[in-house]
Amino acid sequence: MRVRLPLFALLLALALPAHGAPPRRVASLNLCADQFLVVLADPSQIAGLTRLSHMPAMSPIARQAAHFPTIDSSAEALLARQPDLLLTGWPGQADAALRAGLKAQVVAVPPANSYADIVAQVRLVAGAVGHRERGEALIKRMDAALATIPRTGYGRVAADYQRRGYLSGGGTLMDEMVRRVGLVNLATKLGRPALSNLSLEEFVAARPDFLITGGKQARDLGSAMLEHPAIADIPRLYLPGSLADCGGPSFPAAVRTLSDQLRYRH
């Protein structure tokens, strides 16, 4: 059974020591954890980030991440850096290094499915790196930023229709973004689950007001269907992968990106 993140985060937080010196060397092995580490830790604490953190198309903190070295999850790489705290994307990601003798605390930061999940992640990582007050300040900034974003969707219908016909539904971070700007998620309207497959014919029949996509050109055969003549005239809302693929401190920027595009589309 899948465990929702807030409970999972709470259990991990309870497992962390309440007192003691903060970790001296922290490494992130997960793209989504990278931005938490860069925002919440002292620069001197950061022992490594993922290679993807340096790629602007993938990472919202690529400019800041460029100041830090990259690291992978191999036992050799981790033993060479000797971090005392690892942020991973899933339990077991660093098992090889631990079996090889690495002495490190491991905190898994699972994918966020809601803003509440992101808040829990902030508190989890802030506590793990020894800067709880910094985490609370970040949450206040995110709350304030979200409160200023206008709901420019006016009840129109949008679809996060992805490569090979996959549709994002309720219980996903994309669904929360859509609702926060005043749009109706096509998947919710159709009664679809968090992730489902919708044929091109079904999509044409549903005819949403907007199609949310990551770029203006198809990147491969799987996404070429999004340029089919039958749906070519549906207005697009562009949300780059650097903002859409991970929840985190960049969530308000993702929501504002959608809101700003809708502002002049009536």
- Condensed to tens digits (0 to 9), the pLDDT of residues 49-67 reads 999 999 999 999 999 999 9
For the ranges 4-18, 75-89, 128-142, the lowest mean pLDDT is seen at 4-18
129 and 232, same domain (yes or no):
no
> Is the domain of 133 the same as that of 202?
no
Q: What is the pLDDT of residue 219?
A: 57
Q: In this predicted model, which residue has the larger pLDDT, 106 or 10?
A: 106
- pLDDT tops 80 at residue 1: no
- Residue type at 238 in one-letter notation: Y
Whether residue 226 is contained in a domain is answered as yes
- Give the domain-ending residue among 146, 181, 216: 146
Contact 9/123 with Cβ under 8 angstroms? Answer: yes
The model's confidence at residue 9, banded by pLDDT at 50, 70 and 90, is very low
Per residue in 196-252, pLDDT tens? 999 999 999 999 999 999 866 555 555 667 888 889 899 999 999 999 989 999 999
Residue 151 lies in a domain: no
Domain assignment present for residue 197? The answer is yes
Q: What is the pLDDT of residue 21?
A: 85
- By percentage, how much of the chain surpasses pLDDT 70? 88
Position 118 in a domain: yes
| Last residue in a domain, options 126, 146, 166 | 146
Say if residues 57 and 50 touch (Cβ distance below 8 Å).
Answer: no
Task: Answer yes or no: is 245 within a domain.
Answer: yes
Neighbouring C-alpha atoms within 13 Å toward the C-beta of 100 = 13
Same domain flag for 142 and 162: no
Q: What percent of the chain has pLDDT over 90?
A: 80
CATH number at residue 70: 3.40.50.1980
48 contacts 70 by C-beta, under 8 angstroms? yes
Res 7 pLDDT > 50 = no
Expressed as residue numbers, the domain containing 93 is 5-146
Do residues 169 and 138 share a domain? no
56 contacts: CB under 8 Å, gap ≥ 6: 62, 63, 242
Rounded distance, CA 26 to CA 37, Å? Answer: 8
Write down the mean pLDDT value for the chain.
89
- Do both 49 and 115 map to the same domain? yes
Let me know whether 139 and 173 are in one domain.
Answer: no
Q: Which two tokens stand for residue 197?
A: 């497959």
Instruction: Classify each residue of 145-167 as buried b or exposed e, where b means 16 or more C-beta atoms within 10 Å of its C-beta.
Output: eeeebeebbeebbbbbbbbebeb
The yes-or-no verdict on residue 77 having pLDDT over 80 is yes
Number of domains in the chain: 2
